Chain A
Amino acid sequence: MSTPTTTRTTTTQEQPKTERVRGGYDKQKRAEARLGWLLAGPAFAVMILVTIYPILQAAWQSLYRSRLTAPDDAAFIGLQNYFVILSDPLFYQSLGVTLFITVVTVVVELVLGFALALVMHRAIRGTRGLVRTAILVPYGIITVVSAFAWYYAFASESGYVNNWLSIIPGFDPNLNWFAQTGTSLSVIILSEVWKTTPFVSLLLLAGLSQVPDDLSEAAQVDGAGWWTRMFRITIPIMLPSIMVATIFRALDAFRIFDNVFIMTNGANGTNVLSLLAYNTSIGRLEIGLGSAVSVLLFLCVIIICFTAVKLFRVDLTGVKEES
């Protein structure tokens, strides 16, 4: 705690003290940065090993015609694999389906996740733990398991959904959900939304808890209604959290694999990019062509990341200061 004496002293010796303070501040900042590197350095090095190396390897292999069962026939073909992929309608169909699933799931999950976050935030103290646990249960289930659960629920031979929906007039109880594009994608999207909305709601709940109550109360005193407070105070303050949730989910949804693999395996025009990469690299053992699909998938992911950051105009590194 400062005393008048120290204040006076500071005033009389202002110039040298400021330099000293600045020097100490810089030193402390450098020390902090060094500590940061020491703490994060090993993890960073491991990340380079396990991510950068395979990415570079895939980029290199994508320039070859290479099949795992015929290693002697491998030949450098430059960008030919990319020409094949980019001139194939299957690639654009898979890209279209992937984008459709991404946009629909992210939008639905943001709206539902926000509603759930509000419920969790406002839940009365006694039931808060129970509500949060109940909401988070789907996220704790392994995706393959949930995909099978949804598949068997909707399967026309063994599922119960058709039986339930048959009470709706005009509904065909023999509907085979996995025989057409539209119905197949509906179940895939439903499963995806059910599984990952809790994750979005958890991220949004963290943002919601950062909104100071006094701001909201002051606005309420000034006559602002619920919607005004939501759009003028809550959402702007939560913007960094919304952005993090959107980026995480968009990237996750864009790499969708399990649900499609289990439910349709790409049949009826439900192929997605990850499945295309898997089928080419792992199924066909065409390492060169498959690597090229993976590289294109990776580029798409980077574009999504870049677009999301630009769209929200939020500097992720500034999240700490802003919140």
Chain B
Amino acid sequence: MVTRRRTPTPRPRTRAFGALLLTAAVAVPLAACAPAETGPPVLNWYINPDDGGQAAIAQSCTAAANGAYTITTQVLPRQAASQREQLARRLAANDSSIDIMSLDPPFIPEFAEAGFLAPVPEDVQQKVTQNVVQGAIDGATWKDQLVTVPFWANTQLLWYRKSVVEAAGLDMSKPVTWQQIMDAAQSQDKYLAVQGARAESLTVWVNALIASDGGSIITSQEGGVDSIELGIDSDAGKAAAEIMGEIGTSGLGGPGLPTADETASLSLFQSDKGSFMVNYPFVWPATKASVENGSLDQSVLDDIGWAVYPAVDESKPAAPPYGGINLGISSKGNNVDLAYQAAECIVSPENQTEYFVSNGNPASNTTAFDAPAVSDAFPMASTIRDSLQQAAPRPQTPYYNEISLGIQSTWHPPGADNADTTPAQSQSFILQVLRGERLL
């Protein structure tokens, strides 16, 4: 008979080995988290995804700092709303690893109100606002204080196919209206490339239409969130709904309109059915790249023209969308002074010029537009500068996210927009959401 020997307790060697393993398992990850003890302070710059331009600027500013600091970049998600989510969650948890943040302007008031942004020193304020377009300064300001550093400023242009314009007999040397481009596209049986997807781009469109007609999404926010007043249910809001509704119901936006983002709009514009498109300047280098890699014919590139964003009413100048990125310095970081030094270097006109040329993101500093490299790469640089000067930012409020999502949920799809009902429903819904009475 075989008897089994009992081994009730592990042998000392086994126990020692187990302890060693446990120590290693705990110590190794901790060691990986430990900061480097030598070398200059490391500044973490959380950037929005681009074509490598911000990483290159980080490298050149690190070299220029002569060992005062090192900038490393951390890439945020692609969508602006997701970038805000990640940064807000980290900062609310007092994450000290964030030093510099590339921020989308609409979210700046919320970060400023929450105390996430370190105050901008007086001397830095003066240096970083010299020769900067007013829209970018406005976007970097909250409650009359500059709270971020303007970096690059984006705006949408009206892009058109010269052949379609010629056939329709439209004079593009003068400002045009939405009605004119809709009529021209319809007369030529072409599609109009606009962003109708339920995303931030829809808010950008609604805001530009309302602002172009002299309106404003927020009319007053003096007494905080409970007494916020909106201007969506207004003549400007009705004009916006009329334009969007007509583009949606007439089929002018193409079958892809309810899901069209900026990239889908570009594809539609480049196709045989393309006529007009409202979009950011990235479309120019993107189209050139498509021609260079052989996926698009040179004749398409030659056929593209550009103008300032269309007006809603011919008697009022258009208010093109304003976007871009500002640099926020985290109040939770350990190297606020160094971070401001680094921000000054990042937004220098030379770096903005280089970034404009290499990544297609327009500078907020007007001197960058004078550089020959910019006009070589972007023949429409002067139109971009004009557009930036007359651009209207999206509503500046700590509750921007609710307002934007509320607009997206009530104005989508564009084909369902109705001048009599959409603005009123949208305004009432957003106010209920802001008062905490509705889900979003």
A284 & B259 in contact (Cβ 8 Å cutoff): no
CB < 8 Å neighbour of B88 from A65, A69, A90, A267: A69
Bound state CA distance, A268 and B110, in angstroms? 29
- Cα(A293)–Cα(B401), bound, Å: 19
- On whether the beta carbons of A178 and B259 are closer than 8 Å, the reply is yes
Query: What residues of B have a CB within 8 angstroms of the CB of A131 in the complex?
Result: none
Q: Restricting to A195-250, which residues have a CB under 8 Å from any CB of B?
A: none
- Least CB distance from A243 to B in Å reads 34
Residues of chain A within 8 A of B257, CB atoms compared: 176, 179
- Which of A90, A268, A282 interacts with B439 by CB under 8 Å? A90
Query: Is B114 located at the chain interface by the 8 A CB criterion?
Result: yes
> Counting CB contacts under 8 A, is B41 at the interface?
no
Is B258 part of the contact surface with A, judged by Cβ < 8 Å? yes
Instruction: Say yes or no for B89: interface residue by CB 8 A criterion.
Output: yes
Point out the residues of chain A lying under 8 angstroms from B92, CB to CB.
68-69, 71, 285
Q: Is A274 positioned at the interface, with any CB of B under 8 Å from its CB?
A: no
Task: Please name all residues of chain B whose beta carbon is closer than 8 Å to the beta carbon of A283 when the two chains form the complex.
Answer: 81, 85, 401, 405
Task: Please report the C-alpha to C-alpha distance between residue A150 and residue B114 in the assembled complex, in whole angstroms.
Answer: 40
Q: Contact partner of A69 among B114, B199, B405, B440, CB < 8 A?
A: B114
Q: How far is the CB of A75 from chain B (nearest CB, A)?
A: 11
Write the nearest CB–CB distance from B412 to chain A, whole angstroms.
6
Hey, which chain B residues are within 8 Å of A143, CB to CB? none
Q: How far does the alpha carbon of A65 sit from the alpha carbon of B92 in the complex, in Å? A: 16
Q: How far is the CB of B79 from chain A (nearest CB, A)?
A: 10
With A157-B267, A283-B81 given, is the CB distance from A176 to B88 under 8 Å? Answer: no
**Those of A266-290 within 8 Å (CB) of chain B:** 266-268, 276, 279-280, 282-285, 289
B231, CB-defined interface residue at 8 Å: no
Q: Which residues of A contact B (CB under 8 A)?
A: 65, 68-71, 84-85, 88, 90-91, 155-157, 174-176, 178-179, 265-268, 276, 279-280, 282-285, 289, 293
A284 and B264 contacting across the interface, CB-CB below 8 Å: no
- CB < 8 Å neighbour of A268 from B81, B256, B413: B413
Q: Closest residue of chain A to B91, judged by CB?
A: A69
| B402 part of interface (Cβ distance < 8 Å) | yes
Interface residues of B in 242-297 (CB under 8 A from A): 255-259, 264, 267-268
| B190 is an interface residue with CB less than 8 A from chain A | no
Inter-chain contact A176/B259, CB cutoff 8 Å? yes
Asked if residues A276 and B439 are in contact (CB atoms below 8 Å), the reply is yes
B side interface size, CB within 8 A: 32
Complex Cα distance, B264 from A89, in Å, reads 32
With A268-B413, A282-B85, A283-B405 in contact, do A88 and B259 touch (Cβ < 8 Å)? Answer: no
For residue B18, which residues in chain A have a CB less than 8 angstroms away from its CB? none
Contact of A267 among B113, B116, B412 (CB under 8 A): B412
In the complex, chain B residues 381-440 whose Cβ is within 8 Å of any chain A Cβ: 398, 401-402, 405, 412-413, 436-440
Q: Are B439 and A88 in contact (CB under 8 A)?
A: yes
Q: Which of A179, A289, A293 contacts B436 (CB 8 A)?
A: A289
Contact A84 B88, beta carbon cutoff 8 Å = no
B256 and A284 form a contact (CB under 8 A): no
Best-surrounded residue of A70, A84, A289 (most CB of chain B within 10 A): A70
Residues of A within 8 A of B413 (CB): 179, 267-268
B110 touches A69 (CB 8 A): yes
Partner of A284, one of B198, B267, B405: B405
Nearest CB in chain A: distance from B213 CB, A: 26
CA distance A156 to B255 in the complex (A): 8
CA distance A68 to B116 in the complex (A): 12
Within 8 Å CB of A265, what residues of B?
198-199
Can you give 18 contacting A-B residue pairs, CB < 8 Å? A68-B88, A68-B92, A69-B110, A69-B116, A84-B437, A88-B439, A176-B256, A176-B259, A179-B255, A266-B198, A267-B197, A267-B412, A268-B413, A279-B440, A282-B89, A283-B401, A284-B440, A289-B439
**B92-122 contacts to A (CB < 8 Å):** 92, 110-111, 113-114, 116
Which A residues lie within 8 Å of B402 (CB)?
A: 284
Closest chain A residue to B437, Cβ basis:
A84
Is the CB–CB distance between B436 and A70 below 8 Å? no
Complex Cα spacing A229 to B171, Å: 80
Find out whether the CB atom of B259 lies under 8 angstroms from the CB atom of A155: yes
A239 to B390, CA, bound (A): 70
